[in-house]
A and B are shown apart, each in its own frame.
Chain A
């Protein structure tokens, strides 16, 4: 009952959102129930995104990064998905309480997404101009002609000559396609942009171009961004804040400096130590032992314990809770403040 009341209030909030956090997620849990097993994708995470900030969501396959952001748009297919949360506020609106129609308004208009694979996220039968124009037609209710004009402007902004708006996706290279995808996402000037591994499918030199472009556009439109990636280098390049995910939990979160300079979680340490050391070619890689855990397991202790080189008996028995090191920096580890616990980073 109580939740119901609160939902009603938030929905009635004005559209132009002025709060401090454009995104406010508390205790988000996502699981997928199939005939064979229950997959626990996200196990209770809190996430806040300030205006104009870029948050990096880092983690390996199956950490729950993509599920998390799909839940923000209420795009988790149910069934088999089950989403639970204390709250998911996007621009102050409770996503869980919105109707399908209200959701359509929000998607694209207030929160937009750039997917990993530019080859498959464009529709091959429409010209790129038409695809960008579509969001103007839906959200700004422009006529087709007006929308196509706007689309051309948008293409120029992402660095593609306007005269190519009549071409089809197959006539574009991978990097160009990803620019088009970004243009579509930004067409309605959303204040939140979610980028799911936007450069993974691209070459390094093209990756650099796309990342630079995203940075410029963020400045220009004052968008808040969630950048999902597995590449710590990209986080260092683009993000203000970092959340490290493992087995559906955020194990460490903080500003870029907090996490990169003052690493506190053994998993974050392991990620850094798995990277080749660019200053010393002969130093050996120091990977995390073992494998990513089976997401159908419900852990009684710390999910990272079995791979952690600092794990003590209690780590297997007791669930770690969120510990605040500073206002910005938090870690989910039972041993972080013990005397004999010291993170070793081979790479600086």
Chain B
């Protein structure tokens, strides 16, 4: 997030606009806290001892001073697992969006920039990909390559590539019609220079906004697929996987579902707020 801010050069203005949106600022703070938790828990907790080790004696304890969120059916501390799980959700969300942004935007921008029959062919292929439901794509990839975090990232990333490609194409088409593009050509700039120096930096804003909201979408999808057993395999404490593990105990031990569920909700909410704030800040029509 922070990094993408820096790329757009009139960042002080964008930041000023962003700050006006209270929800977005709270979202950003919450998101930062989650990131810190994710990092700290990797350092503090021992994967073997704290996260995966089965302790039969501590089975299904309710929340207490010792176990803030209680323990699950295998005696593992839910608090530690929820904290430790933050990294998976964040990682999956961010990496899969990066995959789709990089592929999607490049393909879309290239198509729009080149134009002609090449554009038509590329966009039709992209639309072909759009016709495959996301879940089918995930099932296909997971069954072919096995259930693992990288495969899930790849699957999630690929399934949103068409959306990014179309968005990137649209925003490049708008930017390309601006007079400063022609001005730059008139100075003798090469096509590559025009694309990288003028078109992409100006087309990036809507892509950035879409990317931010996609992160939360991917986190939810990842949790969903994990819940279905298509994503992160047990015993990794991914939030969706934890929900799945706790499902048999929902009536007597609802906290097994509540805490991971809350974690997903808060993260997604925070990211969506950031996305909204970013959209308002980057939209030139709303400036001033």
Contacts and interface: CB of A to CB of B under 8 A. Distances in A.
Nearest to A34: B288
A314 B16 CA distance: 39
Interface string A11-50: 0000000000000000000000011100000000000000
B20 interface: yes
A268 to B, nearest CB: 31
Interface residues of B, number: 3
Interface SS of chain B:
helix
Contacts of A36: 16, 288
B19 to A, nearest CB: 10
Interface in B271-288: 288
B15 to A, nearest CB: 13
Contacts of B16: 36
A36 B16 CA distance: 10
Contacts of B288: 34, 36
Nearest to A39: B288
A35 B20 CA distance: 9
A174 B16 CA distance: 40
A36 B288 CA distance: 8
Contacts of B20: 35
Contacts of A35: 20
Nearest to B288: A34
A35 B288 CA distance: 9
A38 to B, nearest CB: 13
A34 B16 CA distance: 13
A206 B20 CA distance: 46
B284 to A, nearest CB: 16
Nearest to B20: A35
Contacts of A34: 288
Interface in B1-30: 16, 20
B208 to A, nearest CB: 24
A77 to B, nearest CB: 14
A35 B16 CA distance: 11
A229 B288 CA distance: 25
A201 B20 CA distance: 37
A271 B2 CA distance: 49
Interface string A164-204: 00000000000000000000000000000000000000000
Interface string B249-288: 0000000000000000000000000000000000000001
A40 to B, nearest CB: 16
A36 B20 CA distance: 11
A36 B287 CA distance: 11
A154 B16 CA distance: 51
A230 B225 CA distance: 64
A36 to B, nearest CB: 8
A35 B287 CA distance: 12
A294 to B, nearest CB: 14
Nearest to A35: B20
B280 to A, nearest CB: 13
A90 B49 CA distance: 83
A34 B287 CA distance: 11
A172 to B, nearest CB: 25
B17 to A, nearest CB: 10
B24 to A, nearest CB: 15
A79 B16 CA distance: 21
A34 B20 CA distance: 12
B63 to A, nearest CB: 44
Interface of A: 34-36
4 contacts: A34-B288, A35-B20, A36-B16, A36-B288
Interface of B: 16, 20, 288
Closest 3 CB pairs between A and B? A35-B20, A34-B288, A36-B288
